[in-house]
Structure 1
Amino acid sequence: MKSKIHEYQKRNIKNMSKKALVIIALSITILSCNKPATVVKEVKTAYVDTSVLMKEYTEAKDLEAKYKAKSEEKGRQLDAEIARFKQEAAGFQAQAQANGQAWAQQKGAELQKREQQLSYAQQALSQELQQESGKEMDSLVSGVKKFIKTYGKENGYTYIYGTGDAASILYAEDKYDITKLIIKALNDKYKAAAPKDEKAVAKK
């Protein structure tokens, strides 16, 4: 009698264990179903060749042309003074023989002093133009970076890399190159912001 009771208890425990395993398995399945699926975001990348961009960006070309003209304009007077100095220096030897040693020493010292002054004037003009153009170029580059950042956000890019003279990317497939798209967008924006009189000249 005792053995029958013992066997019945064993069967009961075994059945209870099976039921417990089934309940646990069902619970895990339900929890798995209720867990939200992880959304894998697409990593959209591209790159811009910054050296090409700066060559073809209209504002950058206009800035370069502006300072080239400014350099020519400010350097014109200085070039005239340098030309006069060269003429005097070329005739100095013949005049020195005619006017004597005392005159030659005095005139030679004057020419040397003028040569130094002209050299300093050239350096000062070059530094002035470099500082002015450098400030404007820094402002332009900063604007381009902001534009690309906004462009990336609006067009769903995860990363937009830069290649060119100061780049860290050594290789990228051509299909990821959006340089032309950025140049067109920047040029369109620059053209739209240009004053009306400049637009009229551009049409001519």
Structure 2
Amino acid sequence: MKRPFLVLALSLSVAGTTLFTGCQQKGGDAGKTTTPNTAVTADSGAVATTETSATSTPAATATPTTATAPNQKFGYINSAELLKVMPETKRAEANLEAFVKNLEKQFGGLQSEYQTKITEFQSQEKTMVDAVKETRIRALQDLEQRLQQSQVSGQQQVAKKREDLFKPILDKAEKAVKDVGKENGYDYIFDTNTGSFIYAKESHNIMPLVKAKLGIK
């Protein structure tokens, strides 16, 4: 009998995924959030300000170089560091870990049942008549299929659970950054973790000008 792939590949970490997709995708607003998996990559967890009159274009690097007019106000933040210090993140991580452990327990029971039946079949196979042997083989194949389906289902459940747990945290963090940007007169806020802008003042959105140039109403 073929032995199934029995490793439930479920990730428990929250390290490595971008938190905010950046303003480039929506003109003046930040992009949609994604579920986190963040890696600590910078020292700053607070908004910092820089005023510049440089003429270069934005680059997706650890420090932004941006074309600006005099007196434009720029800030930056490391979204990974921000998520790391939010108390909601630790609670979400603990909740996700408990959820995964429960799934692994269920999967382990099914795996144990399969291994037991495989052992029984192998020890009795030589004395079985063909009809009984075929029936036992079909039963083992059905159980193997259940194992594989359980693994796929478990991965999907973990992905959904992670999204359900972390989306409200991401939304809260992004809203806080945008509020700080508006309340403190920032033109742009740059995310050093993702290399993109989290916040951009709506007045800098050139979509209306480009539509007018193209004759689009």
Measured after TM superposition, the shift of residue 64 of structure 1 is 2.1
Give the corresponding residue for 1:111: 140
Give the corresponding residue for 1:145: 174
Q: Residue 96 of structure 1 contacts residue 103 of structure 1 at CA under 8 Å; is this kept in 2?
A: no
Measured after TM superposition, the shift of residue 138 of structure 1 is 2.4
C-alpha separation in 2, matches of 1:87 and 1:76: 17
In structure 2, the gaps of 5 or more residues are 1-68, 198-217
The 3-state SS of whatever aligns with 2:189 is strand
Asked if residue 45 in structure 1 is aligned to residue 74 in structure 2, the reply is yes
Which one-letter code corresponds to 2:158 in the other structure? L
Which one-letter code corresponds to 2:161 in the other structure? E
Identity %: 26
The alpha-carbon distance between structure 1 residues 108 and 56, as it changes in their structure 2 partners (threshold 3 A), is farther
Match of 2:158 among 129, 136, 142: 129
Measured after TM superposition, the shift of residue 144 of structure 1 is 1.0
C-alpha separation in 2, matches of 1:115 and 1:56: 43
The number of residues matched between the two structures is 129
Write the mapping of 1:146-185 to structure 2, written as runs, cut at 5 A. 146-164=175-193, 166-168=194-196
Which one-letter code corresponds to 1:129 in the other structure? V
Write the mapping of 1:8-157 to structure 2, written as runs, cut at 5 A. 42-157=71-186
TM-score, scaled to structure 2? 0.51
Moved more, 140-149 or 71-80: 71-80
Give the corresponding residue for 2:13: none
C-alpha separation in 1, matches of 2:93 and 2:120: 39
Structure with the larger helix share: 1
Q: Residue 83 of structure 2 contacts residue 173 of structure 2 at CA under 8 Å; is this kept in 1?
A: no
The 3-state SS of whatever aligns with 1:160 is strand
Measured after TM superposition, the shift of residue 126 of structure 1 is 2.4
CA RMSD of aligned residues (A): 2.4
In structure 1, the gaps of 5 or more residues are 1-39, 170-204
C-alpha separation in 2, matches of 1:66 and 1:80: 22
Measured after TM superposition, the shift of residue 112 of structure 1 is 0.6
